[in-house]
Amino acid sequence: MIRTEIRGAEVVVDGLQNVSNGVRKAALLGVIEALQIAHAHCREIISADDHSLKDLADMGHPYSARNPRTIHEPDETVHRQSGEYLDALRVQKPVSYADGAIVEGTVGIDPDNADMTQLDRWIQTGTTRMRARAWAERVKIDHADEIVAPIEERISAAIESEGIA
């Protein structure tokens, strides 16, 4: 049974061990397309520019753990300051493993950028002074159906064209 799963900004297709190479290729192409969609939604949620750091301070630090307030919908919205965090957002090259049974790919902060990886951890899980804004999970919640659609469409089309269905 082929199964597609979204975990935060990670896309996983498994159950491909007993399918043709054509179906595996369709799954890989679907994952690539899904990652492009996920990347666009991730960029959108971490690129707000309507409040500067000064504006946020004047608002009483709404992202603080001490004085939390919701100022955006969705609440997980992250404001762009220097642009480094947004620039560190990458689509990791999709991989296939377990003899082609699994294809997966990830959208996230470049793991080779230690400063931005640490900042990402602080933003998504929070600190003692800043509340968490798990934006990758929000992207999954809000857009999972849209993200998995190209995978399911490509796999279905490949199965149908091979007369397997």
Q: Please tell me the predicted confidence (pLDDT) of residue 2.
A: 77
Residue 60 has φ and ψ, to the nearest 5°, of 85, 25
Q: What's the residue count for the chain?
A: 165
End-to-end CA distance of the chain: 13
- Kindly tell me the sign of the dihedral angle through the C-alpha atoms of 18, 21, 25, 28: positive
What is the rounded CA–CA span in Å between residue 7 and residue 47?
A: 21
Q: Who has greater pLDDT, 147 or 18?
A: 147
Q: Rounded to a whole number, what is the largest CA-CA distance in the chain?
A: 63
- Other beta carbons within 10 Å of 101: 16
Q: Look up the pTM and report it.
A: 0.89
Work out the pLDDT band at 99, boundaries 50, 70, 90. confident
Residue 165's pLDDT is: 54
CA dihedral of residues 41, 38, 143, 95 (deg, nearest 10): -170
Enter the tokens of residue 76.
């997980």
93 or 98: which leads in pLDDT:
93
Q: Is the pLDDT of residue 129 over 60?
A: yes
> How many percent of the chain have pLDDT more than 70?
98
More confident residue, 1 or 89: 89
Rounded CA separation 75/145 (Å): 21
The pLDDT of residue 27? 93
Is residue 110 classed as helix, strand or coil in its secondary structure?
coil
Give me the mean pLDDT over the 91-117 stretch: 90
Q: At residue 57, what are phi and psi to the nearest 5 degrees?
A: -65, -45
- Sole residue written with tokens 């159950």: 15
Residue 35: which region, alpha, beta or left (left: phi > 0; alpha: psi -120 to 50)? alpha
Return the amino acid letter for 55.
D
pLDDT in tens, 70-88: 998 999 999 998 999 999 9
